[in-house]
Amino acid sequence: MTAAQDLVAEAAGLLGRPLHGATVLHGGEHAMTVAAHDGDEHYVIRAFPRGDQAVAREVEVLGRLGPLGDLVPHLVSYALDGDRPVIVTSRVAGSHPSPVLPAETLATQMAAALARVHQLSGDGLRAAPAAPPTGSGPAALAAQGFWPRLSRDETVLTHHDFWCGNALWEGPVLTGLVDWSGARQAPRGADVAWARQDLVLLGSPAAAQVFLEEYERRAGTSLPDMHDWDVHAAAHAEDAVETWAPNYHGIGRTDLTATVLRQRLTAWIEHLLS
């Protein structure tokens, strides 16, 4: 029995009925993720390392996402004991974005979806950011300097890992948002900056500007401190961006090598600090 089949058998025990198929889903390195079905419904099963809090946190968050309807997964079952935490959710329609999908399409649709997410309250979730970024790179040092003036008063429910790999698509249409275990109570700018940085890493700073304009239009608000949030996001990527290459490769973006990611982030940081 493969690891994927073993996970499906474990989920079948949770649901009390047979499950079929064991399709491994790629795009992240944190969990083993497998798709299966019972003949009628389709599910996503995710297993995390022993002691990981992701399942407990996602269970808490999914109950808040009802207003988003079929855009998000719905909780089916979970287990926190045993050898590893496991969660079973409904499978949201769609797949990772096509590598040839225009960045501007990614930007406009993801901005519209994020504006919907930010209509929800994050009260009671972990608050973020709790402290300025650590590190000694140029973005980290700048973010540390900006920290006292970074607006953190208004907070919403944030995804906290809002990049294209956590969005699902059918052709040019965004159909879902997944991986909610990191959701926080945080200012809007945290998610917006992370999404803008993703678009920069995809190769389109212009799409990052499209994202901001569409988000502000959809949300009916402006983000005057967007520059500071962009620097804050870059500071968190500064020492790690090369390690993200496998995640991009998992969604079909094999062109985004560690070298390319570093070059694009460096250029973005130079732009932000110029």
pLDDT, tens only, 117-176: 999 999 999 999 999 999 999 999 999 999 999 989 899 999 999 999 999 999 999 999
- The percent of residues above 90 in pLDDT, for the chain, comes to 95
pLDDT band at 116; cut points 50, 70, 90: very high
What sign for the dihedral angle of Cα 263, 268, 273, 274?
positive
User: What's the CATH number for 103-273?
Assistant: 3.90.1200.10
Residue 61 tokens, joined? 């968050």
Average pLDDT of the residues in 73-86: 94
Q: What is the pLDDT of residue 30?
A: 78
What's the rounded Cα separation, in Å, for the pair 177 and 117? 10
pLDDT band at 1; cut points 50, 70, 90: confident
* In the chain, ranges of CATH 3.90.1200.10 domains: 103-273
- The percent of residues above 70 in pLDDT, for the chain, comes to 99
* In the chain, ranges of CATH 3.30.200.20 domains: 3-90
**For tokens 């678009």, what's the residue?**
199
Average pLDDT of the residues in 80-96: 94
Q: What is the pLDDT of residue 82?
A: 81
pLDDT digit string, tens, across residues 2-49 = 999 999 999 999 999 999 999 998 766 678 999 999 999 999 999 999
Q: What is the pLDDT of residue 27?
A: 65
pLDDT band at 83; cut points 50, 70, 90: confident
pTM value? Answer: 0.94
Average pLDDT of the residues in 223-228: 96
Q: What is the pLDDT of residue 29?
A: 66
What's the rounded Cα separation, in Å, for the pair 51 and 168? 28
Q: Indicate the average pLDDT of the chain.
A: 96
User: What's the CATH number for 3-90?
Assistant: 3.30.200.20
**Burial class of residue 17, CB neighbours in 10 A (0-12, 13-18, 19+):** exposed
Q: Which amino acid is at 229?
A: W
**Burial class of residue 150, CB neighbours in 10 A (0-12, 13-18, 19+):** middle
Q: What is the pLDDT of residue 65?
A: 97
pLDDT digit string, tens, across residues 49-67 = 999 999 999 999 999 999 9
